[in-house]
Chains A and B, each alone.
Chain A
């Protein structure tokens, strides 16, 4: 288990980078820190790696202290692997040389065996003698992964590992990398700014903003039961629709009564804003409720549509690419949320 408690950090005293961050990550789990650039997620990762010395707080890995008020274990003694955003492959060493770099303590034959094993795991067996500059970006990333995993680290850190790869390749690598990490039984903490990457990889997902960890939960929970507007907006598209709490699990809106399980108890009669994700707005020609199609973006399997309600407010909906509507059409819709994500109008 990785345990972070009350981590605070600042590069200069005026502006805190991390503010009282704590989290738990179980052995063998993949955790992902999500947030806009500058939110402190990379700094947190560097604190865990030992490259930064947090001003306050403690870090514990499998029961032993990495950082406490009395102790600071330097990076080179933590046995934590890291995959850097730019991969940081050593240009003067071959692929095998890179993978063997961290295996100094083993005998030569043992080093080579382990490197061969790791290259096989990441599917680069034929590239042992190649040099980093001869490889594609995706291959370099897998070398970096093999290198980080070779010394059997107690924890693997990955800093935006897919940021430099082209989109088509990324989706496939998510699956590959997740399989490799689970197969190795690694405990992993990943930093990312891309929600899709986070949802594809993570067992545990955290959203950070301005140095604070706003939520740390299972990905499904973060998406459907966000604890703040920022988290709700950051992890996926959606529109806020004003309404009034009509009772337990019911919110009255201009699109009728929304029913579902609320993410937190709401006081009856209070004005709230309800989050409508595109999949919460369902096309239904028999519905008396109509909305004007303002714009639609073809996404292959479906359209992401912007709809204007009679009040002038806009909501999003995903429409099947079978449906054939043009901009300006009035479409029948109804509400179909299963989770009510609503915040009182006065809440931040």
Chain B
């Protein structure tokens, strides 16, 4: 045990420790944060080289309408998700009624349905020759007024149905953790149950409800597919049209700049709330609390009816409609092309899942090992901001710098090798698309990994070292086994999110790389709902995986 060949003096050991940690990891974090922030810099930076003629045109002809539409849609979605999410969350958490356990879980399933799929189904259902009108004609005769879901009403309706689970999930957990306690407090002070709900339960749950609504709002601002299907012009569709229709990158940049400012405000609000939620953290009323309110008589069935009709509208009906469309056309649509779309989707999702999970792991370690530690926390926060970027903005924000980088490389090649030098084209390659996915979904992979990594305490590391295990052995025998679940979760979540992703894929995919998602969009755009159904069903089926994953994690505690 005495002096061996590779023995260190205390000074050397100290110096080696300083080198090992800290700065290098901090650099990794900063690098990942920079990659994420480049699109923001590009988009916001475009304000500083404003084309005044173009901007004037946008400001007078496009912006007022687009901004007003986006605002109304946002208000509608926030109001709708709050109403549905809070009401259902409270019902399921506090009341006892028939089929409560089933609905507690089933009401989360609409999360699996992307907005554009919901929109496709809804437009199809309310088409003139669709099932709704056939039904109306049966009851009202042939003079039933033609009516279809469209515009603002359609957008808010469809988005509310797919986004309310964000509020519902947080509201349910908030009301559950209040348990019977808050109602009992109210009653002991002489307030009725109804009053207790409005004066105690609801205010206590407010930070959770607000957080859920802000997440829904973020998704609504980012949404492209739903508004496109309903022909409702918001920032995202305007960016898309500037991109494709006018081929004006500059207009797309300018519009993205305005949208990203709105998103930044929402993100700041959301992060503020995270802090305040800690202070209002609720004392768990014991997991074994029985539901305090057992509904009786017709009220019981009214509750079941409420939960049931939302589940029906948000999941069952669209699913049935999609199946009804897909089934008769199965023989025609399930062809080599369909398999090609599915293969493209799977390949993209698999590569992205591996890549983003690896980056997420890197970021989680960078956050843990960075010195100074505060730098690690800050870079982690910035690096995971990509989840808030609307896909259309991200596509523009990634395309522009990549194109510039490609030009730069080509200039350099020309300088070095003359005119015969080969040319590099980066835009329209898988590289660009995967880069955008990495930025968008880094947060998705990072959060399960970071929370698993927290389970590996300092003393756990030291215990292993004390028993002679260091370096790779420590990683292999301690870290990886503990992180395994987190890695799996991260990979699955990213995989599914990439499968569902529409605007980024649509705007910067390599030529010919049609995926299930872009196929749904194209068929819907052409009014061929029936042909959109099969790929849409596949996406919904894959989308159910993370919902089930989420359930298996939370229901063990809450059911």
Contacts and interface: CB of A to CB of B under 8 A. Distances in A.
Nearest to A73: B1
B462 A49 contact: yes
Interface in A277-329: none
B3 interface: yes
Given A53-B10, A76-B470, A64 B463 contact: no
B9 A69 contact: yes
A67 B478 CA distance: 28
B3 A88 contact: no
A91 B468 contact: no
Interface stretch (A78-86, A243-251, A260-268, A330-338): A78-86
A71 B7 contact: yes
Nearest to A92: B481
Contacts of B465: 50-51, 74-76
A75 B17 CA distance: 13
Given A71-B3, A101-B467, A102-B467, A84 B462 contact: yes
A54 interface: yes
Contact of B12 (A65, A72, A79, A93): A72
A82 B465 CA distance: 10
Interface stretch (B136-144, B364-372, B453-461): B453-461
Contact of B482 (A54, A92, A148): A92
B406 to A, nearest CB: 46
Given A53-B17, A84-B459, A64 B464 contact: no
Interface string B1-29: 11100011110111001000000000000
A172 interface: no
Interface string B231-249: 0000000000000000000
Contacts, number: 93
A76 B17 contact: no
Interface residues of A, number: 36
B1 A101 contact: no
Contacts of A49: 462, 466
A54 B477 CA distance: 29
B469 interface: yes
Contacts of A151: 467-468
A241 B292 CA distance: 61
A9 to B, nearest CB: 11
Contact of B10 (A69, A79, A91, A93): A69
A257 interface: no
Given A54-B10, A67-B10, A102 B468 contact: yes
Contacts of A77: 1, 468
B1 A64 contact: yes
Nearest to B2: A64
Name the residue among A72, A81, A82 with the largest chain B CB count within 10 angstroms: A72
Contacts of A78: 1, 466
A185 to B, nearest CB: 19
Nearest to A151: B467
Interface string A77-114: 11111101110101111000000011010000000000
A53 B482 contact: no
A86 B1 contact: no
B552 to A, nearest CB: 17
Contact of A86 (B10, B17, B457, B467): B457
A43 B9 CA distance: 20
Q: Is the interface of A mostly helix, strand, loop or mixed?
A: loop
18 contacts: A49-B462, A50-B466, A51-B462, A53-B14, A65-B2, A71-B7, A73-B1, A82-B462, A84-B459, A84-B463, A88-B460, A88-B462, A91-B455, A92-B481, A92-B484, A102-B468, A147-B467, A148-B466
Contact of A104 (B3, B12, B468, B478): B468
A90 B10 CA distance: 30
Interface string B80-107: 0000000000000000000000000000
Contacts of B3: 70-71
A40 B465 CA distance: 22
Interface of A: 49-51, 53-54, 64-65, 67, 69-82, 84-86, 88, 90-93, 101-102, 104, 147-148, 151
Interface string B277-320: 00000000000000000000000000000000000000000000
B462 A75 contact: yes
B1 to A, nearest CB: 5
Nearest to B9: A70
Nearest to B477: A101
A151 B466 CA distance: 11
Contacts of A84: 459, 462-463
Given A71-B3, A73-B7, A74-B13, A82 B468 contact: no
Contacts of B17: 53
Interface in B416-467: 455, 457, 459-460, 462-467
A241 B3 CA distance: 55
A165 B12 CA distance: 40
Contacts of B2: 64-65, 71
Nearest to A67: B10
A179 to B, nearest CB: 24
Contacts of B459: 84-86, 88
A53 B463 contact: no
A230 to B, nearest CB: 29
A308 B23 CA distance: 62
A53 B462 contact: no
Contacts of A102: 466-469
Name the residue among A69, A88, A91 with the largest chain B CB count within 10 angstroms: A88
Contacts of A90: 460, 463-464, 478, 482
Contacts of A101: 464, 467, 469, 477
B176 to A, nearest CB: 23
B479 to A, nearest CB: 10
Contacts of A81: 466
A64 to B, nearest CB: 5
B464 A72 contact: no
B421 to A, nearest CB: 53
A101 B457 CA distance: 17
Contacts of A64: 1-2
Given A72-B8, A76-B465, 15 more contacts: A50-B465, A53-B14, A54-B10, A67-B10, A71-B7, A74-B465, A74-B470, A75-B462, A76-B468, A76-B469, A77-B468, A90-B464, A91-B455, A92-B481, A151-B467
Contacts of A65: 2
A88 B457 contact: yes
A102 B470 CA distance: 12
A73 B9 CA distance: 8
A265 to B, nearest CB: 41
A267 B455 CA distance: 60
A285 to B, nearest CB: 53
A88 B463 CA distance: 7
